[in-house]
């Protein structure tokens, strides 16, 4: 009877754990994972994490010390996932016309590592709930764990920390501006004409000093350019560096302006794409949380 209870608890934990990993595994405009082997790899790792989480309760109850040591060693191997993902994305980034940048890549690698720990925790909770209570209790607990896991997929986005609005592109002689923010000097007339015909300008106004410091991060700005290009395309090739999306900062106000030449010249879609760019963990800054930063803002 005890063995059967162990088995059912473990199976339930594995089922909910694998389901958790499945709902967190999606391929969208970021295009990763975007191939069958990527899905297989992450689902396999999710299954392993589920088994470890599902077996934890029976092993702890029986005080199987060798098994506990083995599970601890197996769990530490998930740290290598971040390194694997990082190397893969760095290699892929070298072929992008507009790269993600190291900050964006590091954030994706951290997410893939942490999701396996979340799968393990879900399996542990469901397995433990069934073992110590009943099947009827473990099912709603598992459903709640799935909902929490799904809700954790969405972090903060640019639209949460800044107002994103159109910006007017204009030239003063050969100098390119978006509103009053200077970008570069372009001597070739045909380049200036192409930018005026196809270019779109966007201005990001931070809501507070925390947002201003976050948007000042170069990695965050690279992520904005990359996501906009991924969704709307880019009027650029390897030999047209002057058409690369550029973001510049107004040093007085902290505003960020971007100029881009998308293939789909729909301004509203561009604004939506920029608003949905994730706020990178490595670029997130909170100067207002410090006494000096708060005092300076006042």
Q: Are residues 39 and 125 in the same domain?
A: yes
Select from 99, 116, 151 the last residue of a domain. Answer: 151
List 169's β-bridge partners, or say none.
178
pLDDT tier at 1 (50, 70, 90 boundaries)?
very low
Look up the domain containing 257 and give its range. Answer: 158-297
* Per-residue confidence (pLDDT) for residue 284, from 0 to 100: 77
Q: Are residues 145 and 166 in the same domain?
A: no
Q: Are residues 259 and 128 in the same domain?
A: no
Preceding amide of 170 cis, omega within 30: no
Select from 151, 172, 194 the last residue of a domain. Answer: 151
Q: Which helix (H) or strand (E) holds 93?
A: helix 79-93
Q: Chain centroid to CA 46: how far?
A: 19
Q: Are residues 55 and 166 in the same domain?
A: no
**Alpha-carbon Rg for the chain in angstroms:** 24
Q: How far is CA 283 from CA 91, 210, 212, 221, 271, in A?
A: 22, 11, 11, 10, 21
Q: Are residues 28 and 129 in the same domain?
A: yes
Q: Are residues 109 and 166 in the same domain?
A: no
pLDDT tier at 23 (50, 70, 90 boundaries)?
confident
Q: Are residues 32 and 81 in the same domain?
A: yes
Q: Decide if pLDDT at 63 tops 90.
A: no
Select from 151, 173, 208 the last residue of a domain. Answer: 151
User: Measured between alpha carbons, how far is 173 from 155 in angstroms, rounded to an integer?
Assistant: 42
* Per-residue confidence (pLDDT) for residue 275, from 0 to 100: 95
29-50: pLDDT as tens digits: 554 555 666 778 788 888 988 9
User: Measured between alpha carbons, how far is 253 from 236 in angstroms, rounded to an integer?
Assistant: 31
Domain count for the chain: 2
Q: Are residues 105 and 208 in the same domain?
A: no
Q: In what order do the strands lie in the sheet with 181-185?
A: 169-172, 175-178, 181-185
* Per-residue confidence (pLDDT) for residue 159, from 0 to 100: 93
Q: Are residues 106 and 23 in the same domain?
A: yes
* Per-residue confidence (pLDDT) for residue 96, from 0 to 100: 87
User: Measured between alpha carbons, how far is 182 from 171 in angstroms, rounded to an integer?
Assistant: 9
Nearest to 204 by CA among 277, 280, 286, 264: 277
Q: Are residues 181 and 147 in the same domain?
A: no
Whether residue 216 contacts residue 161, with contact meaning beta carbons closer than 8 Å, is answered with: no
Q: Are residues 10 and 147 in the same domain?
A: yes
Q: Are residues 44 and 183 in the same domain?
A: no
* Per-residue confidence (pLDDT) for residue 257, from 0 to 100: 96
190-217: pLDDT as tens digits: 999 999 999 999 999 999 988 999 999 9
Whether residue 194 contacts residue 243, with contact meaning beta carbons closer than 8 Å, is answered with: yes
């Amino acid at each position: 009877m005890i063995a059967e209870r162990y088995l059912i608890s473990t199976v339930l934990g594995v089922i909910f754990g694998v389901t958790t990993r499945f709902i967190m595994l999606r391929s969208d405009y970021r295009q990763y994972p975007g191939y069958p082997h990527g899905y297989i790899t992450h689902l396999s790792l999710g299954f392993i994490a589920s088994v470890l989480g599902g077996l934890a309760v029976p092993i702890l109850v029986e005080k199987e010390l060798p098994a506990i040591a083995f599970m601890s060693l197996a769990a530490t191997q998930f740290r290598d996932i971040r390194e694997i993902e990082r190397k893969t994305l760095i290699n892929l980034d070298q072929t992008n016309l507009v790269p993600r940048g190291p900050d964006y890549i590091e954030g994706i690698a951290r997410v893939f590592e942490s999701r396996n720990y979340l799968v393990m925790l879900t399996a542990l909770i469901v397995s433990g709930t069934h073992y110590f209570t009943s099947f009827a209790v473990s099912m709603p607990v598992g459903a709640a764990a799935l909902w929490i896991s799904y809700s954790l997929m969405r972090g903060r986005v640019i639209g949460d920390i800044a107002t994103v609005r159109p910006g007017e592109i204009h030239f003063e002689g050969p100098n390119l501006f978006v509103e009053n923010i200077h970008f570069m000097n372009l001597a070739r007339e045909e380049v200036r004409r192409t930018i005026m015909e196809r270019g779109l300008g966007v201005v990001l106004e931070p809501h507070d000093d925390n947002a201003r410091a976050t948007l000042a991060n170069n990695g965050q700005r690279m992520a904005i350019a990359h996501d906009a290009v991924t969704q709307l395309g880019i009027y650029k090739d390897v030999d047209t560096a002057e058409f690369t999306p550029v973001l510049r900062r107004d040093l007085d106000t902290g505003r960020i302006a971007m100029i881009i030449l998308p293939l789909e010249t729909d301004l509203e879609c561009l604004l939506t794409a920029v608003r949905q760019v994730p706020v990178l963990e490595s670029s997130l800054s909170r100067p207002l949380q410090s006494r000096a930063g708060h005092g300076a803002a006042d």
